[in-house]
A and B are shown apart, each in its own frame.
Chain A
């Protein structure tokens, strides 16, 4: 097969639908990455307009431009949009677009999940945007502290828009995170062992793991606050055994890691760009990897430093300030690696480099003001002033927007296939840089003079007028600069001349592609032997096009990809991707109807939405797999691998496992909340404890055990014909119908949870009852989920999708049963055992 024929065949197999349908049915990471980025920058623009409104209002004392009601909505939406609808999705977009290309893959692990995540984000974001246009936007600040956001102080649906909208959007972050973890660990070019991954992949992997462990506390907090507002479960209401500080803990348990979730991908771009611009490899790759890991962990030990003003005991304050000083070290390691790389090489001042210099200048100042704020006495003075706002913009804008703009200029030739021709960018950079510092240097100053953040106006005799005016003028300069950046990028994307391959002479795989990239990324998958394959093998592109690589022969009209072992990246299995479909978008729409029904309190509709999601999910997975065993497949170089459906650890298993990390973190946060309320909240003990019974734990343990062991029944034995050949676990369990037995066990567990929900003390009278209610519901939910999967599985057996060889689904279902069993037991223990001590 020659290169042209291969190109034609592959293009046909991998193409998205033509015309207007493309946008709705595409599952290609290239399309979806671009859509993510476009949407993220749209929200950046909206957030930017809101910032201009804020600055217009604050420009002079007693401005009559906005009243307090509108002002509150505007700054809340500005912060919310920038954090949730711009920064995180921009990372997702970059990672979705770039990673497969960098890793030598043809797509991400779960193409339809990418699409589902995108649509959840698009619909959730639109929901919040519309609420703003009709004047119902949230107004409690981007961290939404109760009791201000409780039902009493904030009636109306504004706060619900935030709680439900952000949760909806966060589905997309969780989807993307699961997707990225599995893709980075399993979907790489063969030979790309962990130490040969492009550095950006490390950053993305760690960021994704942080999303999985950082977002659940916030999701939990939003659920609890929504439950309080809608149904009166008093989690944050001090009078009834709740505590509003619980929200602060949950929020900052998310919020501090969040800053690093935003910063790390940006740092990943810097670590990618600086070496190329300096014509030398990244200095101290290993140290950088170690410092990313260290940073991620340390950032989870800092959250209380946002709460120093709430009266934490000295020891707690000391722990968290000590930990806060530590994070500076891994950040410094990276900064030194960057400086060292530039020192070692010959840096060239192209456009991306300008923004990186802008980053250095800005981020260092932001870091210094951060150290100032980490000193507790200073924090007590500057807390809640414009100084803090200035600091956070130095870090967020300096640490995220500048590097991302560098990244956009760096990757523009790859995305558009054109060479930069119009040179508006340099002027735009000057305006952005001057405008930014004009705006926010001034804000430090008024902050120290005492101007509080989030005030809509101030008196002339405070003497803040001139400084605020300078700041506002600066912000308009900044806005003009940013608009020019967009103009520059757009002009160069649509009218500039075609560029040639690998314009920056970089060494990583994404630059070995045709420009703009083809739908299938790589005509054949390379065998990687170094960290910079293109430098080692300059003729790699032609070799891949000629078919010197894996999966060089398109077959059966299928979208094929390999999975590899996590560490060494040896080929493990062959994956067949699903084709174009509107299913993800439909499912996101139905998911959206679920959130809307909660928002508008049409609760009768909610069950229908849930059923809709289940039905679509059923269809989603039903289409996978095959009804016949297939022989091991030839993948080139004389190697063969089995189909992923015929392995124990398919990508679905990995995806489930990573999703469980997030799920377990949510559960852990719930336990933390329970313990926190019990020990710290005033107005405990509750008026009434749950009565202890012996039969619940006994039957519960028996049922859980039954489900657990029944699920261990060997898969082949499920069908009678194969039972004779598989004898291993039959010794333990003489019955053949193991899924049915597991079903009995799980259903019994479900009954116990329903009974607990039934007999627990009233959830609206005291936080104790409310917590029991949530824990039982969590347990019940997982047991029901496992039941649903079992039922699905039984149908799959009936229809011949499962055999001794095609066992991937067995393992996945078993994993979820095990999780449900574990959660069930822990929940039972949490609910019943404390009663014994009271």
Chain B
């Protein structure tokens, strides 16, 4: 079981982060959060970017952990590194719009 979880862990983090960012964006637009500017920084965008960066950092951490620790099967370690890379690329690419797209319109 733990080997199977290794394959799934990074994509699961991606899925959670993707949902979280989408949820946060929806929530921010529904409340006044979107208009809050703190010390010249729009809070919403800063928050979204923060989640985005944290996600990528977490995933890189997972990748490092996958490289260091040893699974039951040698085979799993290769596949789980591929899926971790998939999760990293997916996070960078699919959440990249937090940096430029207009948030609520």
Cβ-defined contact, B94 with A194, below 8 A: no
- Please report which residues of chain B, range 59-105, place their CB below 8 angstroms from some CB of chain A when the two chains form the complex: 72-73, 75-76, 78-79, 82-83, 86-87, 89-90, 93-98, 101-105
Q: CB of B23 within 8 A of chain A?
A: yes
- Please report which residues of chain A, range 154-196, place their CB below 8 angstroms from some CB of chain B when the two chains form the complex: 185, 193-195
Output the least CB separation between B66 and chain A (Å): 13
Cβ-defined contact, A194 with B76, below 8 A: yes
Asked whether A194 and B4 contact (CB < 8 A) given A301-B18, A322-B96, A680-B30, the answer is yes
Cβ-defined contact, B94 with A326, below 8 A: yes
| Chain B hits for A319, CB < 8 A | 18, 21-22, 94-95, 97
A566 to B94 CA separation, bound complex (whole angstroms) = 33
| Chain B hits for A316, CB < 8 A | 22, 25-26
Q: Which chain B residue has the least Cβ–Cβ distance from A300? A: B15
Q: Which chain B residue has the least Cβ–Cβ distance from A317? A: B101
| Chain A hits for B12, CB < 8 A | 297
- For B22-44 the 0/1 string (1 means CB < 8 A from A) is 11011101110000000000000
Output the least CB separation between A600 and chain B (Å): 39
| Chain B hits for A679, CB < 8 A | 26-27, 30-31
A801 to B11 CA separation, bound complex (whole angstroms) = 42
Output the least CB separation between A460 and chain B (Å): 43
Cβ-defined contact, B97 with A293, below 8 A: no
9-residue interface stretch from A271-279, A282-290, A626-634: A282-290
A679 to B105 CA separation, bound complex (whole angstroms) = 16
Q: CB of A555 within 8 A of chain B?
A: no
| Chain B hits for A287, CB < 8 A | 82
Asked whether A313 and B75 contact (CB < 8 A) given A290-B82, A323-B90, the answer is no
Asked whether A566 and B101 contact (CB < 8 A) given A193-B73, A194-B73, A326-B90, the answer is no
Output the least CB separation between A130 and chain B (Å): 40
- For A294-322 the 0/1 string (1 means CB < 8 A from B) is 10011011000000000001111111001
| Chain A hits for B1, CB < 8 A | 185, 566-567
| Chain A hits for B101, CB < 8 A | 314-315, 317-318
| Chain A hits for B31, CB < 8 A | 679
Cβ-defined contact, A567 with B98, below 8 A: no
Output the least CB separation between A324 and chain B (Å): 9
Q: CB of A568 within 8 A of chain B?
A: yes
A518 to B12 CA separation, bound complex (whole angstroms) = 41
| Chain B hits for A195, CB < 8 A | 73, 75-76
Q: CB of A675 within 8 A of chain B?
A: yes
- Would you call the interface of chain A mostly helix, strand, loop, or mixed? helix
Output the least CB separation between B84 and chain A (Å): 10
The 8 Å CB contact of B83, one of A194, A294, A676, is: A294
- Would you call the interface of chain B mostly helix, strand, loop, or mixed? helix
Asked whether A322 and B4 contact (CB < 8 A) given A297-B11, A313-B25, A675-B23, the answer is no
A676 to B26 CA separation, bound complex (whole angstroms) = 8
Output the least CB separation between A8 and chain B (Å): 39
Output the least CB separation between A310 and chain B (Å): 13
A290 to B98 CA separation, bound complex (whole angstroms) = 28
Q: Which chain A residue has the least Cβ–Cβ distance from B84? A: A290
| Chain B hits for A293, CB < 8 A | 7-8, 11, 79, 83, 86
| Chain A hits for B86, CB < 8 A | 290, 293-294, 297-298, 330
Output the least CB separation between B46 and chain A (Å): 14
Output the least CB separation between B67 and chain A (Å): 16
| Chain A hits for B105, CB < 8 A | 313-314
Cβ-defined contact, A315 with B103, below 8 A: yes
A314 to B97 CA separation, bound complex (whole angstroms) = 9
Cβ-defined contact, A297 with B14, below 8 A: yes
Q: Which chain A residue has the least Cβ–Cβ distance from B105? A: A313
Cβ-defined contact, A323 with B79, below 8 A: no
Q: Which chain B residue has the least Cβ–Cβ distance from A327? A: B90
| Chain A hits for B78, CB < 8 A | 286
- Please report which residues of chain A, range 674-699, place their CB below 8 angstroms from some CB of chain B when the two chains form the complex: 675-676, 679-680
The 8 Å CB contact of B79, one of A290, A298, A315, A326, is: A290
Q: Which chain B residue has the least Cβ–Cβ distance from A318? A: B97
| Chain B hits for A568, CB < 8 A | 72-73
The 8 Å CB contact of A286, one of B26, B30, B75, B97, is: B75
Q: Which chain A residue has the least Cβ–Cβ distance from B1? A: A566
| Chain A hits for B30, CB < 8 A | 679-680
Output the least CB separation between A693 and chain B (Å): 27
Output the least CB separation between A675 and chain B (Å): 7
A194 to B78 CA separation, bound complex (whole angstroms) = 13
A316 to B79 CA separation, bound complex (whole angstroms) = 31
Q: Which chain A residue has the least Cβ–Cβ distance from B75? A: A195
A289 to B102 CA separation, bound complex (whole angstroms) = 37
| Chain A hits for B14, CB < 8 A | 297, 301
Cβ-defined contact, B94 with A323, below 8 A: yes
Cβ-defined contact, B25 with A315, below 8 A: yes
| Chain B hits for A317, CB < 8 A | 101
Output the least CB separation between A547 and chain B (Å): 30
Cβ-defined contact, A566 with B25, below 8 A: no
Cβ-defined contact, A313 with B104, below 8 A: yes
Q: Which chain B residue has the least Cβ–Cβ distance from A680? A: B30
| Chain A hits for B27, CB < 8 A | 675, 679
A315 to B26 CA separation, bound complex (whole angstroms) = 10
Cβ-defined contact, A289 with B103, below 8 A: no
Cβ-defined contact, B73 with A294, below 8 A: no
| Chain B hits for A314, CB < 8 A | 97, 101-103, 105
A680 to B102 CA separation, bound complex (whole angstroms) = 18
Q: Which chain A residue has the least Cβ–Cβ distance from B71? A: A567
Cβ-defined contact, A567 with B2, below 8 A: yes
Q: Which chain A residue has the least Cβ–Cβ distance from B74? A: A195
Cβ-defined contact, A566 with B3, below 8 A: yes
A330 to B31 CA separation, bound complex (whole angstroms) = 38
Output the least CB separation between B35 and chain A (Å): 15
Output the least CB separation between B78 and chain A (Å): 6
The 8 Å CB contact of A294, one of B11, B75, B102, B103, is: B11
| Chain B hits for A290, CB < 8 A | 7, 79, 82-83, 86
| Chain B hits for A326, CB < 8 A | 89-90, 93-94
A679 to B25 CA separation, bound complex (whole angstroms) = 11
| Chain A hits for B7, CB < 8 A | 289-290, 293
| Chain B hits for A297, CB < 8 A | 11-12, 14-15, 86-87, 90
Chain A interface residues toward B at CB < 8 A: 185, 193-195, 286-287, 289-290, 293-294, 297-298, 300-301, 313-319, 322-323, 326, 330, 566-568, 675-676, 679-680
> 24 A-B pairs, CB-CB below 8 angstroms?
A185-B1, A193-B73, A193-B75, A293-B8, A293-B79, A294-B11, A294-B86, A297-B14, A297-B87, A300-B15, A301-B90, A313-B105, A314-B101, A315-B97, A315-B98, A315-B104, A316-B22, A316-B25, A316-B26, A322-B96, A323-B18, A323-B94, A330-B86, A567-B4
Chain B interface residues toward A at CB < 8 A: 1-4, 7-8, 11-12, 14-15, 18, 21-23, 25-27, 29-31, 72-73, 75-76, 78-79, 82-83, 86-87, 89-90, 93-98, 101-105
Question: Apart from A297-B12, A315-B104, what are 11 other A-B pairs with CB-CB below 8 Å?
Answer: A193-B75, A194-B3, A286-B75, A293-B7, A297-B15, A313-B25, A313-B104, A315-B101, A323-B90, A567-B73, A680-B26
List the 5 shortest-distance A-B pairs measured between CB atoms, nearest first. Answer: A679-B30, A318-B97, A195-B75, A297-B11, A290-B82
